[in-house]
Amino acid sequence: GENVGLHLPTLSVQEGDNSIINCAYSNSASDYFIWYKQESGKGPQFIIDIRSNMDKRQGQRVTVLLNKTVKHLSLQIAATQPGDSAVYFCAENPSIQGAQKLVFGQGTRLTINP
Amino acid sequence: NAGVTQTPKFRILKIGQSMTLQCAQDMNHNYMYWYRQDPGMGLKLIYYSVGAGITDKGEVPNGYNVSRSTTEDFPLRLELAAPSQTSVYFCASRHRVDQNIQYFGAGTRLSVL
């Protein structure tokens, strides 16, 4: 079955540095991927998404990279700020059509040190 | 717009009790979803709905039931609460098939003792 996982469960970076959060997936049929940010006591909040026909997509201070050859997804956050401290989840969807039954990874806790 | 609203925020149940977790969205979204999140884990899909009157099972449906009588509401029912159902429950909604982002509520934290 589908398996979405993360290389590191925790990540600490200095404020102002860039951070990279990694995610591995196993379902080669997945054609849509999404990153969510979850702050303590809150629901997941959309950050950025990417379709499988793309290698890279940029947002405001965030970039998602997709490597289909090795089934790897990463989220880059530039110039991290204290407000970036949260748990970050990647999720995959086997098909961009239909009901979108997302499969979530375990999550990575990002801590920003002052 | 309030977005996705979940009630209650917290609840403690005794084993064998039943309850309904409420979820409402005011964005006129067709798709709605229920997830559970166990400590230190990602979200797992319990049930979903593609529109009023239509529901289907997700990855972990056992012990739960849902209904979708209106576009706005998607309640989740626990009939005989078990300790294994201790979790945080999130409801999400999405507009339609060509719009991919799911919007989440703030969650309901449920403990079954």
Question: Which chain B positions have a beta carbon within 8 Å of A49's beta carbon?
Answer: 100-101
Domain locations along chain A: 4-113
Interface of A with B in 40-59 (CB under 8 A): 41-46, 49
- Residue B34 CA: distances (Å) to CA of B23, B47, B68: 9, 5, 12
pLDDT at A95: 67
B contacts of A34 (beta carbons < 8 Å) = 100-101
Q: Does A104 touch chain B (CB under 8 A)?
A: yes
From A99, A105, A107, residue closest to B31, measured CB to CB: A99
Which of B93, B102, B108, B109 should we substitute to test contact with A (largest number of A Cβ atoms within 10 Å)? Answer: B102
Q: Give the CATH H-level superfamily of domain A4-113.
A: Immunoglobulins (2.60.40.10)
User: How much is the pLDDT for A106?
Assistant: 86
Beta-carbon separation of A34 and B40 below 8 A: no
* B21-49 mean pLDDT: 94
pLDDT at position A88, please? 96
pLDDT in tens, chain A (114 residues): 334 544 448 999 999 999 999 999 878 888 899 999 999 889 999 999 999 999 999 999 999 999 999 999 999 999 999 999 999 999 998 765 677 889 998 899 999 998
pLDDT for residue B52: 94
State residue A96's pLDDT score: 58
pLDDT at position B1 is 65
Place of tokens 């999130």: B90
- State pLDDT tens for residues B48-95: 999 999 999 999 999 999 999 999 999 999 999 999 999 999 999 998
| A54-80 burial: b if 16+ Cβ within 10 Å, else e | eeeeeeeebbbbbeeeebebbbebeeb
Model pLDDT, residue A7: 45
* Arch. (CATH architecture) of B4-112: Sandwich (2.60)
In angstroms, the CA A88 to CA B41 distance is: 11
Of A9, A42, A102, the CB nearest to B102: A102
Q: What is the average pLDDT score of chain B?
A: 94
Q: Give the pLDDT of residue A3.
A: 45
Candidate from B40, B45, B50 with C-beta closest to A102: B45
> Does the beta carbon of A23 lie under 8 angstroms from any beta carbon of chain B?
no
Amino acid A100: pLDDT:
81
CA distance A47 to chain B (A): 10
Domain boundaries, chain B: 4-112
Question: Of the candidates A36, A43, A106, which has its C-beta nearest B107's C-beta?
Answer: A43
pLDDT at A47: 96
Q: What is the pLDDT of residue A1?
A: 35
A8 contact partners, CB below 8 Å, separation of at least 6: A21, A22, A108
> At B97, is the pLDDT very low, low, confident or very high (cuts 50, 70, 90)?
low
